[in-house]
Amino acid sequence: MGYSLEHLTFIDKLNELFESRMSKHGKIYKCTEEKLHLFEFFKDNSKHIDHRNREVTTNWLGLNEFADLTHEVFKSKYLGLNTDYPRRGNSEDISYRDIVDLPKSVDWRKKGAVTPVKNPGSCGCCWAFSTVAAVEGINQIVPGNLTSLSEQELIDCDTAFNSGCNGGLMDYAFEYIVNNGGLHKEEDYPYLMEEGTCEEKWEEMELGDYQWLP
C-alpha cells in the first residue's frame, strides 16, 4: 500500500496506513495502550520521512517494520554492543592498479555481487552480517560465485573476542574465517536470530586474507 499527503493529514487515514504497514510486518501489540503509544511514534516517523523526501532528492526513505520505534529504542534494541577492541587486519601499504578513468560510483548490486537483504532481527550481530556480506561480495567479484553464506556460524563459533548477539567486530570475524578455512553456506547453517551451539561442518568458501582500505 502506498501513501500520500492525505494519509499524513487526516488521522483516520494515518491510522489506516499504520494498520496496513504493521500488519504487513506481522506486528502484534500486547494491549491497546501499547498500540496507541507506538502509533504516536509511527506518526512522527511518517511525517519525518515525508519531510525529508521532499527536501532531499538524492535518496528516498520509506516506512519499514521499525516505523513504530523511536531512534533511541531502535539503537538500544538492534545496534548491538559498542566495543573498544583495537582494529586489526593487514597494515601493509596498499598497491593500486589501473586507477585511470575510474567511474564516479559502482553499484555492486547491478553487477550481481550482493545477495538479497537479510534481517538480523533483535540479535545484536550486525558485525556478523557485515562480515558475511563483504565475503559474499568478494566471492562473486573474484571467482564469480555469488553464494549466501552463514552468519550463524560466526555467531556460534567465533567467540574468542566476538560476543554473538551482544556485539562484535568484523576484524575478528575475518580472522576466524581465514583461520577456520572458510564459511558454510546459509542453507547448511541457517540463521536462528539467537545464539546457538557451534557446529563443525564442511566449509563452503575460503578466505585467504583481508585488509582495511583507507
CA distances from 47 to 52, 60, 68 (A): 9, 14, 12
* Separation of alpha carbons 33 and 43, rounded Å: 16
CA distances from 96 to 9, 32, 92, 111 (A): 54, 59, 13, 21
pLDDT tens, residue order, the chain (214 aa) = 455 555 666 688 888 888 888 888 888 888 999 999 999 999 899 888 888 888 888 888 888 888 899 988 887 777 655 555 555 555 566 666 667 778 888 999 999 999 999 988 888 899 999 999 999 999 899 888 899 999 999 999 999 889 899 889 898 999 999 888 889 999 999 999 999 999 876 656 666 655 555 4
Q: Which of 204, 118, 116, 199 is closest to 155 using CA atoms?
A: 199
DSSP single-letter state for residue 111: T
Q: Is 80-214 the same fold as 5-78?
A: no
CATH H superfamily, domain 80-214: Cysteine proteinases (3.90.70.10)
Pick the CATH number of 5-78 from 1.10.287.2250, 3.30.540.10, 3.40.640.10, 1.20.120.640: 1.10.287.2250
Q: For the chain, give every domain's residue range.
A: 5-78, 80-214
Q: What is the pTM of this model?
A: 0.66
